[in-house]
Amino acid sequence: MTTAELAAARAEIAQACRVAAARGLVDGILGHISARIDEDRLLIRCRSDSDDGVAFTRPDDIRLIRFDGTPGATGELDGYRVPNELPIHVETLLAHPEHRAVAHLHPPAVVAADLAGITIEPIYGAFDIPGAWLARHGVPVYPKAVLIRTAELGKEMVAAMGDRPVVICRGHGITSAAATVPQAVLQAISLDQLAAMSLRIRAAGGTLTPIDESDWADLPDLGPSFTADAAWRHEIARVETG
């Protein structure tokens, strides 16, 4: 990867961190997003003594490190600290080579819904087609409300995640993995919307019922230009003009 490509990747991850904060998926200094660079290095949001929080992430806050937590190049960790939960990113990327990006976030609605015993299901369709498909085959839960700071705990979380792109970490947050940084965050937004809608329906005295099986045929993938690409442009515009 060239210097220019590395700089662009840092900027994209920093932007994604600000989007996550603007969407209420993180608060304060908690949460981090990463992207694999090669076989043993990744870019990840790190912390410094001047850290103002995830909502104010700068490209300089995105540091190149090795999977073992050491600097990925000279000076990369000067003045910066690797997240305690680096194993979330490393173990997810190692277990699923198809994923190039990982977002570990703390969306309150998802945490609340899970603690309330609500199973995230596709309760709506065209309201958010990617979100409906995300939930169609279930959203797994890692049952330990712990800081995932060891490889062993990271492997446990990945095992709970199985072949799904997202996992709820009970009493903690979520992990979302995808081929791109924007997709990892967009999945988290969709999961948060599903959880928030589920809580609203329950609060109104309603029952959570998955959409009818026959509806799936008319919930097509409309292509990235209409879904992921357009959605990400919107998220960036919200942050830049908000």
Q: Which of 76, 85, 91, 156 is labelled catalytic?
A: 85
Summarize pLDDT for 93-105 with one digit per residue, the tens. 999 999 999 999 9
> Quick check: 65 pLDDT over 90?
yes
pLDDT at 228: 84
The burial of 49, by beta-carbon neighbours within 10 Å (0-12 exposed, 13-18 middle, 19 or more buried), is given as exposed
3-class secondary-structure state, position 174: strand
Dist. CA 32–CA 62, nearest whole Å: 10
The model's pTM: 0.95
Instruction: Give me 170's structure tokens.
Output: 């009970």
For residue 63, give the H/E element and its range: strand 62-66
pLDDT at 226: 65
Summarize pLDDT for 207-223 with one digit per residue, the tens. 999 999 999 999 987 76
> Quick check: 121 pLDDT over 90?
yes
What amino acid occupies position 77? L
Catalytic, 5? Answer: no
Alpha helices in the chain (DSSP H): 3-22, 86-95, 108-115, 129-136, 151-161, 181-203, 228-241
- In angstroms, the Cα distances linking 58 to 61, 90, 100 are 5, 22, 21
Dist. CA 122–CA 124, nearest whole Å: 5
Summarize pLDDT for 49-63 with one digit per residue, the tens. 999 999 999 999 999
Summarize pLDDT for 147-183 with one digit per residue, the tens. 999 999 999 999 999 999 999 999 999 999 999 999 9
Residues above pLDDT 90, as percent of the chain: 92
What value does the mean pLDDT take over residues 188-206?
97
pLDDT at 222: 74
CATH superfamily of the domain spanning 3-241: Class II aldolase/adducin N-terminal domain (3.40.225.10)
Instruction: Find where tokens 């992430």 sit.
Output: 57
Measured torsion, CA atoms of residues 14, 16, 19, 21, in degrees rounded to the nearest 10? -70
pLDDT at 201: 98
Domain boundaries, the chain: 3-241
> Using N-to-C axis directions, what is the helix angle for 3-22 and 181-203, rounded to 10°?
10
Of 66-80, 98-112, 201-215, 222-236, least confident by mean pLDDT is: 222-236
pLDDT at 242: 62
Dist. CA 232–CA 234, nearest whole Å: 5
